[in-house]
């Protein structure tokens, strides 16, 4: 069955004094794919900016905006209505040998690099290699790797930030969904499986009540190549269902950050983020 969701994502920056100018990029517009259709999307920014849109290398829609008048606060509110109809999770297809072919390695080469942000620490890498050795198909190993990260890491907001490397989250066995996805990505790439980072939202209730708005957070999960992109959410240990709305895809969080930019004129700011999800049908 399908589900129609409304997502309201509000971000507010309060500055210590007045910012003279602000230049930003927002990845806040859900993607229209074979499994979800964006019925409506609106991004409201205050103070009023100059804006333009483009699609980045990975196909995500980016809203770039500039505010060049002095301001002591900035608010970005993205409201989206999305119809979601995800199929059941597919079974594994490719063999380990198939992953080493030119068709896979060359085609998805950008999803096989291991920068520091996702590079697996030694202990984790050894467990990853054992998982790979225990399974005949990469897809089964990928699911087992997600289960390992889900079981070992405690979801503890505030223990990491957007600059934290996967190795640090593994060391302290705590982090947020971003850290879990980075660990899985690093593990999959060390196995030779091309994965990518997916940003988005999800309704936290297993059986959402129509018309009831609930608080949520920005979310993330992983997709890996198995003769098609297979999705899994290591934080919730489940394949994304109709409760999930995808926004952007990339190599890691740095490619999909909901907001990124710079401002001038003041030294510090306070950030407030809120997400509200409502099932409409």
For the chain, give every domain's residue range.
3-85+258-279, 96-256
Lowest mean pLDDT among 161-175, 210-224, 263-277: 263-277
Indicate if the pLDDT at residue 1 is higher than 80.
no
Size of the chain in residues: 281
Share of the chain above pLDDT 70, in %: 100
Q: In angstroms, what CA-CA distances link 140 with 92, 95, 101, 148, 224?
A: 7, 10, 19, 13, 11
What is the overall mean pLDDT for the chain? 97
Q: What is the pLDDT of residue 158?
A: 92
Angle CA(267)–CA(78)–CA(209) in degrees, nearest 5? 130
Indicate if the pLDDT at residue 110 is higher than 80.
yes
Confirm if 211 and 278 have CB atoms less than 8 A apart. yes
Confirm if 92 and 134 have CB atoms less than 8 A apart. no
Q: How much is the average pLDDT of 107-119? A: 97
Q: What is the pLDDT of residue 267?
A: 78
Beta bridge partners of 232: 222
Confirm if 170 and 124 have CB atoms less than 8 A apart. yes
Rounded Cα–Cα distance for residues 12 and 215 (Å): 17
3-class secondary structure, 49: coil
Q: What is the pLDDT of residue 266?
A: 86
Question: What pLDDT digit, counting tens, does each position of 192-240 carry?
Answer: 999 999 999 999 999 999 999 999 999 999 999 999 999 999 999 999 9
Per DSSP, helices labelled H in 74-176 are: 96-99, 102-105, 122-134, 138-152, 166-172
Indicate if the pLDDT at residue 269 is higher than 90.
no
Rounded Cα–Cα distance for residues 194 and 93 (Å): 14
Q: What is the pLDDT of residue 83?
A: 98
Q: What is the pLDDT of residue 199?
A: 98
Could you count the other beta carbons within 10 Å of the beta carbon of residue 157?
A: 10
Rounded Cα–Cα distance for residues 263 and 211 (Å): 38
Rounded Cα–Cα distance for residues 80 and 39 (Å): 8
Instruction: Write out the H or E segment, with its range, that includes residue 183.
Output: helix 177-191
Q: What is the CATH number of domain 3-85+258-279?
A: 2.60.40.2250
Indicate if the pLDDT at residue 107 is higher than 90.
yes
Q: Which two tokens stand for residue 88?
A: 């059941």
Protein fold of 96-256: C8orf32 fold (3.10.620)
Angle CA(51)–CA(56)–CA(59) in degrees, nearest 5? 120
Q: What is the pLDDT of residue 174?
A: 97
Could you count the other beta carbons within 10 Å of the beta carbon of residue 139?
A: 23
Q: How much is the average pLDDT of 67-78? A: 96
């Amino acid at each position: 069955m399908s589900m129609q969701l409304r997502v309201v994502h509000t971000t507010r920056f309060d500055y210590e004094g007045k910012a003279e100018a602000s230049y930003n990029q927002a990845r806040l517009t859900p993607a229209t794919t074979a499994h979800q259709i964006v019925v409506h999307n609106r991004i409201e920014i205050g103070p009023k900016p100059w804006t333009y849109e483009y699609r980045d290398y990975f196909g995500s829609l980016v809203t770039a905006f500039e505010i060049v008048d002095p301001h002591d606060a900035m608010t970005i509110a993205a409201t989206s209505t999305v119809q979601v109809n995800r199929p059941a999770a597919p079974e594994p297809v490719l063999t380990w040998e198939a992953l080493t072919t030119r068709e896979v390695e060359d085609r998805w080469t950008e999803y096989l690099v291991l920068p520091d942000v996702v590079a697996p620490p030694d202990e984790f890498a050894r467990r990853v290699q054992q998982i790979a050795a225990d399974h005949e198909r990469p897809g089964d190993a990928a699911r087992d790797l997600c289960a390992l990260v889900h079981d070992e890491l405690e979801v503890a907001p505030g223990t990491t930030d957007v600059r934290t490397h996967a190795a640090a989250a593994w060391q302290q066995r705590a982090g947020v969904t971003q850290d879990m996805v980075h660990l899985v990505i690093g593990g999959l790439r060390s196995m030779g499986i091309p994965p990518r980072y997916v940003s988005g939202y999800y309704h936290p209730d297993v059986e959402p009540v129509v018309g009831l708005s609930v608080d949520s957070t920005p979310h993330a999960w992983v997709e890996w190549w198995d003769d098609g992109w297979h999705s899994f959410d290591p934080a919730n240990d489940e394949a994304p269902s109709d409760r999930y709305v995808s926004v952007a895809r990339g190599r890691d969080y740095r490619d999909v950050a909901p907001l990124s930019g710079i401002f001038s004129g003041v030294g510090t700011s306070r950030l407030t983020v809120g997400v509200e999800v409502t099932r409409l049908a």
